[in-house]
A = this chain, B = another copy of it.
Amino acid sequence: MSREKAVVLVSGGMDSCVTAAIAHTECELAFLHLNYGQRTQQRELKAFNNIADFYNVRERLVVDVGYFSQIGGSSLTDTRISVSKADLESQEIPSSYVPFRNGNILSIAASWAEVIGAGKIFIGAVEEDSSGYPDCREDFFSAFEKALNLGTKPQTHLHIITPLIHLAKADIVRKGLELNAPLELTWSCYQNETKACGICDSCALRLRGFEQAGVEDPIEYVTRG
């Protein structure tokens, strides 16, 4: 019997890699990656393809959503806004926020899922550890799942799966190690493409997660915090 097909959103970062490892235990994988004009686009795409090769994923879709740069408002896509150094205690929404990014990503995933016959969409969003992005919260995903089932064909039934939603970064590291996820192939840094900077929000969260899990991050850094 063939396994159910799942679209997995794979940015190339650690969270999406562990999400793919979890999806791999139960589904046939189809990988979706977005180039949205972020600074580290080429490095993330390389990580995406390396992870896809690792899991022998045949169905891959890479889409350009350069309109995020046109819309602006984020340091990830607008080079006039500097990437802020990490402040993990801050309650402010950081400058790397792209407005309603996950809404856009999930809409693309839903369109593709309907065409290829996938019943699940896996996304590695993390609620507690998400730097305060409003589109990383569980109530958003529940509401979006309802909307996308109302907006697709009657025979289409899509589930949004967020396996990491309540995990801390250290739990994600442990889960990845447990499932033999290829963490050495991932890229998380918002700033650099050769060695990770170690000081942006994304690097800081990742390094703290490895530290709390008591293992060393296998990728190279300019500085480790």
Contacts and interface: CB of A to CB of B under 8 A. Distances in A.
A26 to B, nearest CB: 24
A107 interface: yes
Interface in A77-121: 93, 98-104, 106-108, 110-112, 114-115
Contact of A152 (B67, B135, B146): B135
A1 interface: no
Q: Give the interface SS of chain A, mostly helix, strand, loop or mixed.
A: helix
B61 A152 contact: no
B151 A135 contact: yes
Copies in the complex: 2
A90 to B, nearest CB: 15
A165 interface: no
Nearest to A115: B73
A221 interface: no
Given A103-B107, A114-B100, A147-B144, A67 B70 contact: no
B104 A108 contact: yes
Nearest to A150: B140
Contacts of A66: 64
Contacts of A64: 64, 66-67
Interface string A19-51: 000000000000000000000000000000000
Nearest to A102: B151
| Pairs of residues from A and B, 8 with the lowest C-beta to C-beta distance, nearest first | A63-B67, A135-B151, A143-B147, A73-B115, A99-B114, A140-B150, A103-B107, A104-B107
